[in-house]
Amino acid sequence: MNYKEAAKDFLENEKQFHLGVIPTEQSNPLTRNLSATIQRNTEEGVSMILSADVNIPTVAAKAVKTKNFQRLVADIKRVMYENKRVVISSVGASGRMAIQIDAAWRYFWTNLATKLPEKAEKFLYNANRVESFTTGGDRALVRSVENFEDYMTFGAQQVRDANMGPGDVLLGLSECGLSASINGSVCEADDLGCTTYYLHCNPKEILYEHLERCRKVFDRPKVIKMPLFVGNMAVSGSTRMQVTTVELLVAGAALELACNEWCQENLSKEELEVAGLVALEAKDYASEFKKLNKALATGKGCKGLAEFIELEKSVYDKKGLITYCTHDYLLDILTDTTERQPTFTLPPFRKFNDTNAELSWAYVKDPLYPNEVAWQHVFRRPMKGLDWTKEDYIRLEASQAIIDNPPSVGTDEVCQYNIGNCDDPSRYSRKPNCLVCLDINGSATPEVMAWFKEEVKKFDKGVVVRMGNIGKGKLYENEIKIPVKLKRTSNELLTHLMVKLAFNTVSTGTMAKMGRVWGNWMIQVLPTNKKLIDRSTRIIANIAGIPYEEALEEFFKSYLGRDPKEEYRESYVVETLKRLGKDPSQDLK
């Protein structure tokens, strides 16, 4: 097609992806002037980003009081007694978070097995009661898989691949309800007789009216719906922000509460003392989140986040590279850094043996383990790719482009991205470069610091970012401190929330200061699926002040007119706006 034909086809045949009426796709008035604010004052910008979380505590507090939430907790506990499973399904940022929730659950039970070895067999059995999958398979943890979220059939197939059946629980984190793949997994699990939950972060009435794929879920009486609408995103449409935060808070609380009930029923008083605090009271999760948000948005926490943003910007402005190192929280950092690719049109992680692809601006390394073992500790379960054939894609009614060129998303793909502690000259091949060690609640152990202090000699600069409950003394000459007092629970939910909020804020703030956000529009979005094509078009229409139909033609003129090898040159949105006489960098003044 030429660009006019492509625009006409999208306008007439993809109405299910015209999403301007969806609240989470609209601009948030609280952050309307984000780009100008953070250019003027980084700390003010940090506070503004975090102000968009304002509705999360209220929504979470309401959710945990509902019968559906209490039933979820009971179902999670039930599977531990009945040899069934809870399978967490999602896509994109929520999909990576599903893997994170799964891994946190497993870490608690395997760690408890070392503390109470007599019951180790029971604990290891419980560890396997929770599983996860994300649209595109585990490779989506390190690189977005294009277009997969557009197919209900793909989500349904992943449920079948997981061999789910009666008695199992599917926990569908639907983000905003916009991704067809998650709706497909929910419908398939319901058809197979699973107890099926659907967490959605847009109002049911709007989703039901405009999206057929959502109606297919809402019309199912057995699917248990849990509304978690918290308003618009800090950056318009960026569901890696408030949407995934409230999902993590509510789903994570349910898992911790189920853990606690099982432990109360099966451990002695002395064993419970050794296990430590397993969960908060249900009513306390929302209030503790509110304290966490305040600690990051004000005072020393805000100052530390601003300093972190200034560090990253100083490196990226000169086309340099950042490499994070952490052992315990490597999965948390992966969850944020991978999402930067489609959000800001940045080069994705590249495979270790690929010397031609562009380097990602940020990367992450495990200072303790070689690559294969490091990946084992990330997932804490066997890795699961999508080993689908061309015939499978035909049966699943994929596009001809996918059928002709199936993506590399097989089980062996993930390990080709080397996150281990081996030397990686590519990370200091370009100047400036910086090695950032993360000390989260004291996670930078002497072994971690020994690796960092030896490895940092190869880099231009080294920094230790200390976050959470910070110990006394200094670990390194250059430190950034982000102090937050946290309660520690079985799955470390509040700690994972802290890391998520902090890194979402840092990556968003850095990109905003670099002109890759205009107002609170993500002008550097990479359109890897139909939802993002629509979002790109709406951004062009809003900023250029032209009708949607005209903006769609202008988008496809840029999209189809560029050599695919130049995909990461700049976003198609920015290219289009410049052609229309708009200059985002000038407007930031």
Q: 196: domain CATH number? A: 3.40.50.10490
Euclidean distance between CA atoms 583 and 290, whole angstroms: 38
Residue 539 lies in a domain: yes
Do 180 and 237 sit in the same domain of this protein?
A: yes
For the chain, the C-alpha Rg in angstroms (whole number) is 23
Whether 398 is in a domain gets the answer yes
What number of CA atoms fall less than 13 Å from residue 56's CA on the CB side? 30
Give the separation between CA 175 and CA 181, rounded to whole angstroms. Answer: 11
Q: Which residues constitute the domain of residue 581?
A: 3-27+521-587
C-alpha distances in angstroms, 425 versus 285, 341, 428, 473? 43, 22, 6, 32
Boundary-marking domain end, from 512, 544, 562: 512
Shared-domain flag, residues 156 and 64: yes
β-bridge mates for residue 467, sequence order: 440, 482
Phi first, then psi: what are they for 575, rounded to 5°? -55, -45
- pLDDT at site 586: 52
Is residue 440 assigned to a domain?
A: yes
Q: Contact at 8 Å (CB) between 228 and 200? A: yes
CA distance linking residue 534 with residue 179, whole number of Å: 13
CA-to-CA dists, residue 534 to 231, 366, 517, angstroms: 20, 38, 17
Whether residue 69 lies inside any domain: the answer is yes
Are 410 and 507 in a shared domain?
Answer: yes
List of the chain residues with pLDDT < 70 = 584-589
- Among 512, 538, 568, give the residue marking a domain's end: 512
Helix boundaries (H) for 317-353: 330-344
Residues 23 and 129 in one domain: no
* DSSP state for residue 357 in the 8-state scheme: S
Residue 288 within a domain = no
3-class SS of residue 71: helix
Rounded Cα–Cα distance for residues 24 and 366 (Å): 35
* Residues 572 and 455 reside in one and the same domain: no
At residue 527, the pLDDT reads 87
CATH, residue 428: 3.40.50
Residues 200 and 301 in one domain: no
Give the pLDDT of residue 589.
40
- In the chain, the number of structural domains is 3
Residue 112 lies in a domain: yes
492 in the same domain as 441 = yes
Q: Which residues contact 485 (CB under 8 A, 6 or more apart)?
A: 291, 295, 469
Report the greatest alpha carbon distance in the chain: 72
Element (H, E) at 540: helix 530-544
Residues 111 and 229 reside in one and the same domain:
yes
* Whether residue 535 is found in the same domain as residue 451: no
Residue 328 included in any domain = yes
- Asked if 210 and 261 sit in the same domain, the reply is yes
Which of 477, 512, 547 is a domain's end point? 512
- Report H helices in 24-115: 34-40, 42-51, 56-63, 67-82, 92-115
Within this chain, do residues 131 and 270 fall inside the same structural domain, yes or no? yes
Contacts of 51 (CB under 8 A, 6+ apart): 30, 31, 234, 297
Q: Is residue 211 part of a domain?
A: yes
Q: Are residues 441 and 404 in the same domain?
A: yes
Q: Which helix (H) or strand (E) holds 273?
A: helix 269-275
